[in-house]
Amino acid sequence: MNVSIDATKPGPVINKNVYGQFAEHLGTGIYEGLWVGPDSKIPNTRGWRNDVVGALKELKVPLVRWPGGCFADEYHWRDGIGPRNKRPVKVNTHWGGVAEDNAVGTHEFFDLVEILGTEAYVNGNLGSGTPQEMAEWLEYMTSDTKSTLAEQRRKNGRKEPYKVAFFGIGNEAWGCGGNMKPEYYANLYNHYATFLKTPPNARPKMIASGGNDDDTRWTEVLSREAARGTDGISFHFYTLPTGVWEKKGAATGFAENEWFSTMQQTLRMDGHIRRNVAILDKNDPEKKLGFYVDEWGTWYDVEPGTNPGFLFQRNTLRDAVVAALNFNIFHAHAERVRMTMIAQMVNVLQAMIITDKEKMLLTPTYHTYKMYIPFQDATSLPTAVNNDVAYSVDNKSIPGISASSARGKDGKIYVALVNTNPRQPSDVSIDLKGQAASSATGQVLTAEAMDAHNTFDKPQAIKPAPYSAKAVNGKLTLKVPAKSVVVVAVES
């Protein structure tokens, strides 16, 4: 197996926002997972639990999306401001039918953003809201004037305007956001966008809600008709082992055929991006529009005994490998894929962190994110994989090795390798043009079982281990274990 890297031809920068994360009002993703309230016995800062926030800060999370998701199109921002004990209690009709007391609203969310040292992606309510409501929320957050809304924000405890880096106008308009056709949504998008005004230096990047899976019509219509000033079009794709929503497959206890099908399904991301980018290149040759995969990740059948609407699933080595495969795909399309959001941060779907009251553990996906930190804002390098050994099950095959490389902000060349085969290791020869390669040091993430995962009894059952290799006779070969993720810095 050979991986060729050309360090003499730097490609586009891998935007750090490719490593963004999603926090929706869903299950225990916000409440308990992140927010415990300032009066909780669990150590917290202004209501946000210190252990979870500390772990997320170590990931250098660049961007957080809130409040949804499907929840965004039933969220009315005025319910989440003012004294918490006077906020209305609603029902979260999308996720579990549970009470939503609006304890986490605009001010609390921006507290989290500032504590994490990250940026905010706010999703507006197009589905059940109005242009006036959305425009007033943006004014409330960003105005530096003496308007009534800006003064109300100050009265509620925030003197200076908030910085909104990205603003999404609706979510999944093809489904939970309104069951619309793309042409109808494009008209609504332009209508709403017309009234979203901020101070000139405070305007967020505006995002149109795009398509999902194989449907490219949304990109086609929106790239032609979206209002000027639109920064990007979103896209959603989830990895289901079976490819069937009604019976997705189990998060643990699966056989190799479901390991394989999960890898096969997630690799479809590359084709989805290619087809949508081809449309963007046709309709937007100046490349003003980004392609934002702002929901992605694995989605399994919920854990038995849990609320089906809470979307709780175990997170295993398989999820870590899936995450790394997607990172490598995003790196290959860095010119257009300028932001992505895994779903979700805590306790929901492919989470970084799992909590149970005062307890917390890090998942294999968390460890993959941490291993890939050097790729944030790194300069991609052309990387070619000679996959002479495929991974095959039941007469179906996928590439055995996935790879990407980049020159980090520290000047070092980083290489990420993923072995999709759960049974066979692979020797990968690194052919680096433009720089000698004498050794490589970094980390490897693997385990004996395909569904290895951390538990509160064994919170470090799976974690990265040190990795190193030296060139022999001028040739650098990396031994990549079965079912593993390897990230190394190449030394001259």
Active site residues: 172, 295
Which residues neighbour 116 within 8 Å (Cβ) at sequence distance 6 or greater?
53, 56, 57, 61, 64
Q: How far apart are alpha carbons 443 and 429 in whole angstroms?
A: 17
Q: Which residues pair with 385 in a beta bridge?
A: 3
Tokens of 240: 């289901």
Judged on CB neighbours under 10 Å (0-12, 13-18, 19+), 149 is: middle
Residues with Cβ within 8 Å of residue 271, at least 6 apart in sequence = none
What amino acid is encoded at 160 in this protein?
A: E
Q: Measured between alpha carbons, how far is 108 from 98 in angstroms, rounded to an integer? A: 20
Round to whole Å and give the CA distance between 450 and 273.
28
Phi, psi of 302 (to 5 degrees): -65, 155
If DSSP codes are grouped into helix, strand and coil, which group holds residue 269? helix
Whether the Cβ atoms of residue 480 and residue 428 lie closer than 8 Å to each other? yes
Terminal Cα distance for the chain, rounded = 21
Within 8 A by CB and 6+ apart from 450, the residues are 254, 256, 259, 316, 317, 318, 422, 483
Evaluated on CA atoms 192, 197, 202, 203, the torsion sign reads: positive
For residues 175 and 180, give the distance between their C-alpha atoms in angstroms, rounded to a whole number. Answer: 7
DSSP run (H or E) holding 321: helix 317-332
**Paired tokens of 359:** 């307890």
E strands present in 276-336? 290-298
Beta partners for residue 419, in sequence order: 401, 484
How does DSSP classify residue 89?
P
